[in-house]
Amino acid sequence: MTAICLVGIGKIAVDQHVPAIAASDHWDLAATVSRAGTVHGVSAYTDFDQMLDERPDIPVISLCLPPVPRYDYAAKAIAAGRHVMLEKPPGATLAEVDALDNMAQAAGVTLYTTWHSRMAKGVAPAKAWLADKQITGAHINWKEDVRRWHPNQEWVFAPGGMGVFDPGSNALSIITEILPIPIHLCSADLHVPENRDTPIAAQLKWTENVTGDFDWRQEGPQSWDITVETSAGPLLLHDGGDRLIIGGKEIAAGNSREYPALYDRMAELVKTRASEVDVSPMIHVADAMTLGKRMITAPFDF
């Protein structure tokens, strides 16, 4: 088993990364770095530089920090010769992810930009079915409750936090994976609370008759759905990609191994010292921030 250090012990780390590592035959969680969070029985650090200095036996770093501070940690890890796994979105800007990619290539270490929703059960078969189909349109309906999934996490509404595009990038990672044709953004309406810096909701329009409706204010049942219209009929992905329905028939259903699958893939990449860097979902977020018409809406507080 390979030693790994988990940096940033917040909600996503506790809910997803720690259980995935614990269940894996590839990894041994040898250390954590966090200002407050710890994992029982695991060596805990509050200073990343100290961990790098004291633990040369740990060759792999998994970064679960918010996007803005992530670059500095990743750059230090790469400079120290460590392989790096990045939680989504992989950075606060496209340029910094490109810089990390160049650093990793020069250092001969792995850099993996993870997109966990691509590992959902229905995504691969959806991509395969759409490969030879004529696409006539598609719609993303991605609506959830920020208070439930990001409780009191103020950083999501700060510059670099991406607002509703933090979860929205999950949908974008799926649509960029399954569509056999390229799309680019034509327009966007961004709904920004008057006391915040990033959008809480957005409506997007792309080429090829592709649209998206994102909202972080949905209470009750949550909506993570993608519909693709084709000449052969519609394809529906529900529950964040876990359910695939084609022609009214359920093709795939069940709970996915999203994060375990990410760690399996990281093990493969480290073994061959290969990297996997894909920023296509981030490109659409950046385009939305550039093209988007800002509409000031009611203030939001947790």
The domain spanning residue 162 has which CATH number? Answer: 3.30.360.10
Q: CB atoms < 10 A from the CB of 301, how many?
A: 10
Residue 113 has pLDDT above 90, yes or no: yes
Give a yes or no: residue 273 inside a domain: no
Average pLDDT rounded to a whole number, residues 241-258: 89
Residue range(s) defining the domain that contains residue 39: 2-113
pLDDT at 255 over 80: no
Mean pLDDT of the region 116-122 = 96
Question: What pLDDT was estimated at residue 126?
Answer: 98
Residue where a domain stops, chosen among 86, 113, 140: 113
Which residues are part of the catalytic machinery?
A: 88
Summarised one tens digit per residue, pLDDT across range 143-164 is 999 999 999 999 999 999 999 9
Mean pLDDT of 183-188: 98
The answer to which of 99-103, 198-202, 249-253 has the lowest mean pLDDT is 249-253
If you average pLDDT over residues 204-230, what whole number do you get?
97
Is 271 inside a domain boundary?
no
Q: 3-class DSSP state for residue 174?
A: helix
Q: What is the maximal distance between C-alpha atoms in the chain?
A: 59
Q: What is the token pair recorded at 235?
A: 């394809």
Same-domain status, 17 and 94: yes
Q: Beta strands of 87-146 (E only): which ranges?
A: 111-113, 135-143
pLDDT digits (tens, 9 = 90+) for 57-68: 999 999 999 999
Task: Look at strands 223-230 and 235-238 and give their pairing.
Answer: antiparallel
CB 24 within 8 A of CB 263: yes
R_g over Cα of the chain: 19
**Domain count across the chain:** 2
pLDDT higher than threshold 90 for residue 254: no
Give the lowest-confidence range in 141-145, 225-229, 255-259, 275-279: 255-259
pLDDT tier for residue 35 given thresholds of 50, 70 and 90: very high
Q: 238 near 230, Cβ under 8 Å? A: no
